[in-house]
Structure 1
């Protein structure tokens, strides 16, 4: 390049030193002009044209590449390449400067390539998260490992350029520092291995509801990273735990409940044992008018009457033979009421059972599943059921047990 510019400068009749200086300055200006022109061409023509092609395509996922400005880093590659190629020719009279310019331009070129690949991986991760498979197989930790390796190799390439050594020299030195690297990158290594185990065994996915009382975790998984997992708790706080904690410690994953489509109701009503008794004729007449158990009362009464007659039982005493009780009739009513409930599943476990009596009374436990997993709907269904059962218990001459309150003591005192 200097050979083309030097004759033009010599026509000015200047001294050799001035001619050399002006020639070098003109060459530098030409080089900077070409670098700027290459930058504009890449930015306005290549990158902008590529963005237009992507935005006009039928797919909408690739639009993220444009919105995240992935290709903007390519605009800086062209001027770095121009300076790297033209630098030795421009500063041919100054070898040290030429070497420095070439080295710095290559370092800058390496940095832009690393930033481009980093942005490309970030955009790929965002695009992957729009796919259904991302919920069952998160790749955030793999992308973070990829970025870590990318920057590591970028640092090695930069050092080799600045120091003029082969990259293999630095890689060999890193091999000798394996023990130190293992100590420095202990958490990323453990997190990477844990991430692989979580993904392969499908132990937890983004969006799963998990519980870990030892970490005060009770909420949905937001992100599974290389070293940490973020959980948004139901109180809207965010808890961050080490990824390997999900491997080393136990946790409860509610995904099975969500996939089943039903959520369990497991709650008991405690009946005062002093209110349990046999049903008399008046009670049976009243119970036979209850729609849910009218058929049950008729069938059960006939069954027991036949049994007592066949066995020759003296029914003048209730202790003899078999008779209906108010607690058994109430349990039958609860089962019939729940089977008729539109929000209670008839395909999952359905159980109304009597548990062992305690100092708190006789528990009648309901063990059923709703037809929805929505938390708000579930709580409303459960509350409606127990509102009704608590109110209807006295219709069976049963008392719901509770410890004495201040009102009870006041009535006794009165």
Structure 2
């Protein structure tokens, strides 16, 4: 009480001084009020100066010496600055009622503005802590692929909603509970206005809980023309850096409402799949004569197979007295079958192919473009550029090897082919 009485005496000092010198009481009161406001303003500015240049700078020096980085992020997000503002607020809160003791309406407006400012300041402090936590978690490896941005936005929206409820409660004079009930009654309008935000909120939660997409995943989303790496996941959008270094922005809720392709499984598997076909002309497929088989035995990869396989076939044909004057009789080898075995052996010998995963060389149903001979295997190296190099290397070799087996690749005739054919016909 002595301290409070001392403050009152100090605040009234100039008024009493002016009255002592014969000034009009009203003029003395207002002049005293003005002087007190100037002094209070100077005190607030002085405290802010001390906080900024001594306390905050001291906090920065302290954080520079610590090993943790969370305090560095707190400095960057102005956390000490916002917390420091409570000191001048406390000073104003204690002295303002004494200065404006004779002005109750001013005091009422002051308390109203101060409460609103404190609510906003608390929101800023929460935002600062949230940003610092988000930036800190982004530096941790275990959180690199998590949608931290979405979580922080969700929490920030919740904080703003609560803060706005308190602000409107102060403005309207209703309790927070009453305001929340009124808000519930207007939920249909709110849902309509904030439809995209609510959809994004629900989608962000589902994407995170179900682990649908992570930062760093390679996704293909044909609807939005996205094909690249996810660089950011937030409440409303997912940002994808395409392979041509352009960026595509996808609404977050599209990840749960539309179909897209996530290549994470391929990236986490031991190998990356190669699945491609070469098309063989059907009229180039034929039975092999003994002479051609002997010629193909010069190919190292299939020489042991041809030796054993042909011995088995010859034994069967002899034991069943097959008439081999006609090649179609009995069991025979075909150039396509031998080439298929060659391709299989080549893949098993290739150093870049994962031997513990599927290696399949198979026929598909004949098409108007020939017989598809499909190669299905997995490369050890999953990096895109190396994967394409390995795939090209394999098919370069197989396409170049096809003529050795008297096979022909299907190729649609070009304009030169047609002109050459017509030229030959006219000459004949």
SS at match of 2:239: strand
1:385-404 matched pairs, under 5 angstroms: 385-404=394-413
Count of matched residue pairs: 414
In the TM superposition, what is the alpha-carbon distance from 1:61 to its structure 2 partner?
Answer: 5.1
Question: Larger deviation: 15-24 or 392-401?
Answer: 15-24
- 1:159 and 2:165 aligned: no
- 1:21 and 2:27 aligned: no
Please name the residue that 2:159 is paired with. 150
1:63-78 matched pairs, under 5 angstroms: 63-78=72-87
**Does the Cα contact within 8 Å between 1:2 and 1:27 map onto a contact in 2?**
no
1:94-115, Cα deviation, whole Å (9 max, x unpaired): 2222332333233223222211
Please name the residue that 2:12 is paired with. 6
Cα distance in 2 for residues equivalent to 1:395 and 1:211: 40
**Does the Cα contact within 8 Å between 1:83 and 1:102 map onto a contact in 2?**
no
Please name the residue that 1:323 is paired with. 332
Structure 1 length normalisation: TM-score? 0.91
1:195-214 matched pairs, under 5 angstroms: 195-214=204-223
In the TM superposition, what is the alpha-carbon distance from 1:351 to its structure 2 partner?
Answer: 0.5
SS at match of 1:291: coil
Cα distance in 2 for residues equivalent to 1:384 and 1:61: 50
- 1:257 and 2:263 aligned: no
Superposition RMSD on alpha carbons, in Å? 2.3
**Does the Cα contact within 8 Å between 2:347 and 2:359 map onto a contact in 1?**
no
1:14-413 matched pairs, under 5 angstroms: 14-15=22-23, 16-60=25-69, 62-134=71-143, 137-412=146-421, 413=423
Cα distance in 1 for residues equivalent to 2:107 and 2:88: 16
Using a 3 Å threshold, how does the CA distance of structure 1 residues 235 and 342 change in structure 2: closer, same or farther?
same
Gap runs ≥5 in structure 2: 1-6
In the TM superposition, what is the alpha-carbon distance from 1:144 to its structure 2 partner?
Answer: 1.7
Question: Larger deviation: 135-144 or 87-96?
Answer: 135-144
SS at match of 1:268: strand
**Does the Cα contact within 8 Å between 1:351 and 1:367 map onto a contact in 2?**
yes
In the TM superposition, what is the alpha-carbon distance from 1:356 to its structure 2 partner?
Answer: 1.7
1:393-414, Cα deviation, whole Å (9 max, x unpaired): 1111111110111222232213
SS at match of 1:292: coil
In the TM superposition, what is the alpha-carbon distance from 1:227 to its structure 2 partner?
Answer: 2.9
SS at match of 2:220: strand
Question: Larger deviation: 374-383 or 310-319?
Answer: 310-319
In the TM superposition, what is the alpha-carbon distance from 1:331 to its structure 2 partner?
Answer: 1.0
In the TM superposition, what is the alpha-carbon distance from 1:43 to its structure 2 partner?
Answer: 2.5
Cα distance in 2 for residues equivalent to 1:310 and 1:359: 40
**Does the Cα contact within 8 Å between 1:84 and 1:106 map onto a contact in 2?**
no
In the TM superposition, what is the alpha-carbon distance from 1:360 to its structure 2 partner?
Answer: 0.9
**Does the Cα contact within 8 Å between 1:54 and 1:63 map onto a contact in 2?**
yes
Cα distance in 2 for residues equivalent to 1:190 and 1:214: 19
Cα distance in 2 for residues equivalent to 1:310 and 1:68: 90
**Does the Cα contact within 8 Å between 1:142 and 1:192 map onto a contact in 2?**
no
